[in-house]
Amino acid sequence: MPRNHRDLDLQEKRDALVGIARRLVLADGFEATGMARIASEAGVAPNTLYWYFEDKDALLIAILDSLVAEALGEYAKVQTKPLDVQLSWIIARFEGLTGLISSVHSRLSASPSVRDWHDRFHQMVESTLAARLAEHGVPETETATAARVAMFVIEGLLSHHAGQRRERDQIVQFVTGLVTRRDGTAETQLKRKPTSDGRARR
């Protein structure tokens, strides 16, 4: 896959390198995947990577961008489903990425570029969540706070072995129930109504 010099343009080769790095990083973890290994797998010299990426963090960010782009495309399909289904979907979708997520968090203080990406990502996810919450009857004054709480719960579940399936469902139901049951707006959603996946609560 080296395909040297001029028959692949810069962006194409960069993408190819990201793909290779992504596969290795997802398999073995970011810290455990050395630049030398990535280079060797790509058939180039280690320092060649530094022609395409400023440093290892830039490579990490490129990997994250490619993963987020894919997930975002798929999210469109569940965007209109009930809140608990959406939350469960998000958690299941990112379940394989817990290692990467904690790598991102661990680079936060050392790398301004990772910190920057991370903050942007949070902003994007939370504003999307806030919009969904608004649709579900959460009053405007609380959507931002509720979205942040939802985000924290998602991150918590993902960071901690993601819990067992059963426990995850319980937490998702608990949070959606709490968040949407405001001053009667969505009161019914909480009482006895079966969950959207057909299982009884508790």
DSSP state at residue 150: H
Is residue 105 a contact point for its own copies (CB under 8 A)? yes
From candidates 50, 85, 89, 102, binder to its own copies by CB under 8 A: 102
How far is the CA of 162 from the CAs of 49, 105, 112, 173, in angstroms? 34, 16, 28, 15
Is residue 6 a contact point for DNA (CB under 7 A)? yes
9 contacts which partner out of DNA, its own copies, none, CB within 5 to 8 A by kind? DNA
Name the minimum Å distance from CB 131 to its own copies: 18
x-or-dash string of contact with its own copies, 132-171, rule CB under 8 A: ---------xx--xx-xx-xxx-xxx-xx------x--xx
The whole-angstrom separation of Cα 68 and Cα 127 is 15
Q: Backbone phi, then psi, for 52, in 5-degree steps?
A: -95, -25
153 contacts which partner out of DNA, its own copies, none, CB within 5 to 8 A by kind? its own copies
Three-state DSSP state, 202: coil
Name the minimum Å distance from CB 159 to DNA: 22
The whole-angstrom separation of Cα 139 and Cα 16 is 46
Q: Backbone phi, then psi, for 201, in 5-degree steps?
A: -80, 140
Is residue 155 a contact point for DNA (CB under 7 A)? no
The whole-angstrom separation of Cα 165 and Cα 67 is 23
Considering the complex, state which of residue 4 and residue 141 has its C-beta at the smaller distance from its own copies.
Answer: 141
Judged by CB under 8 A, which stretch of 43-51, 72-80, 85-93, 100-108 contacts its own copies? Answer: 100-108
Name the minimum Å distance from CB 201 to DNA: 46
Site residues for its own copies, 4-43, by CB under 8 A, read 29, 31-32
From candidates 109, 166, 193, 194, binder to its own copies by CB under 8 A: 109
156 contacts which partner out of DNA, its own copies, none, CB within 5 to 8 A by kind? its own copies
Q: Give buried/exposed letters for 42-81 (b at 16+ CB in 10 A, else e).
A: bebeeebbeebbeebbbbbbbbbeebbeeeeeeeeeeeee
